[in-house]
Amino acid sequence: MKSVQDMINDKNIWAGLNRPGIAMEEADIVVFGVPYDGGVSFRSGAKEAPRAIREITYTIPPTTEHWEDLSELSILDLGDISAEKRDSLFQKVEETVYASVKAGKLFTMIGGDHSTTIPVLRGVDRAMDKPFGIVHIDAHFDLCHEMGGDLLSHGSVERRSLELKNISDTESIFFVGIRSVESEELGFINSHKMNIFKAMDVRNNGVADTVKRVKEAMSRFEAIYITVDIDSLDPAYAPGTGTPQFGGLHSRELLDLLYGLFDLPIIGFDVVEVSPSLDNSSVAVFAARKILTECWGHYLRKNRLEGGK
């Protein structure tokens, strides 16, 4: 079995698009893993995801389901960020994101549990001199002030984001796919203006209407970050996750949703909470790989094929 270092030095990962050793300025997309799941409140295993996902990218073609050729993309895989203590780990992640945003690169983080998005958002916040928006695709709000005494838990991601200088209000976040709420969160949600499209709303109103609503709410921002918790999908489509919730998005709905959302000024995105050991068939791992490569295709379409930046 190849080590993580061997994999990131291998040009064959990411459908042969990896360009090990190039400068960040030469890359189109920067990707890195955060193999950490110390912020979970239930089942662990998400720390295994970055490696498991990379391992199934050797044989896929550099194309999308829309028959787009990705071969001109240059991907710089920085490998996995790790540290013995969480504070050090989160600081490293923040610095990596800060550098990526300053370099003007679309970046992709592979978690890890959802707490790994906290330092990502901190890095974006440090690098920006203007407000930015967040699209939170998840079964859960992650708006708890703390879980089990932990202020940096996977259930506190967006509560921490509301403390950032460039997240001006609760309407800076659009929640999509929600179908579970903690008692503490319910009081918070009912006392604030929120952008919410529950999983049942997506099904009842359709993806096109969902995308329209998100675009309308997020149009005031010049930069937007998307965080995708794999448990936004119904467990039938992603059983390998720590806190699955019945009644979620179908795989087609999520893919079409992301296709539409990339019309927005997306500066980065993540896929988190994939737990390979909880799924013997690796369904969630394959789902994550598909999400990653399709989103890179959306980036290419917008910024190259359609005369973008």
pLDDT of residue 91 exceeding 60: yes
In percent, the amount of the chain with pLDDT more than 70 equals: 98
Q: Tell me how far apart the alpha carbons of residues 82 and 86 are, in angstroms, rounded to a whole number.
A: 9
Q: Say how far apart CA 309 and CA 303 lie, in whole Å.
A: 5
Percent of the chain at pLDDT exceeding 90: 88
Judged against a pLDDT cut of 80, whether residue 1 lies above it is answered with no
pTM over the 0.85 mark? yes
Longest dimension (CA), the chain: 52
The label of the residue with tokens 């309308």 reads 216
Q: pLDDT of 220-255, one tens digit each?
A: 999 999 999 999 999 999 999 999 999 999 999 999
pLDDT tens digits, residue range 267-297?
Answer: 999 999 999 999 989 999 999 999 999 999 9
155 φ/ψ sector (left φ>0, alpha ψ -120 to 50, else beta): alpha
The answer to whether residue 168 scores a pLDDT higher than 50 is yes
- Mean pLDDT over 131-148 rounds to 96
- Average pLDDT of the residues in 251-265: 98
Task: State pLDDT tens for residues 32-61.
Answer: 999 999 877 778 899 999 999 999 999 999
pLDDT at 39: 78
For residue 82, what pLDDT band results from cuts at 50, 70 and 90?
Answer: very high
Domain ranges of the chain: 4-305
Tracing tokens 């780990």 back to the chain, one arrives at: 89
What is the model's pLDDT at position 42?
A: 79
Q: What is the pLDDT of residue 305?
A: 57
For all residues of the chain together, what is the average pLDDT? 95
CB atoms within 10 A of CB 256: 18
- The class (CATH top level) of 4-305 is alpha beta
Cross-strand partners of 77 = 31
Q: What is the DSSP string of 196-216?
A: EEEHHHHHHH-HHHHHHHHHH
Amino acid 99 reads: A
- Segment 146-165 shows an average pLDDT of 93
155, 128, 14, 277 alpha-carbon torsion, rounded to 10°: -10
* pLDDT given at position 307: 54
Lowest mean pLDDT among 97-106, 145-154, 267-276: 145-154
Q: State yes or no: pLDDT of 10 exceeds 50.
A: yes
Beta strand segments in 169-308, E: 173-178, 195-198, 224-229, 266-272
Question: Quick one: average pLDDT of 144-148?
Answer: 91
Residue pair 69/62 in contact by the 8 Å Cβ criterion: yes
Is the pLDDT score of 309 beyond 50? no
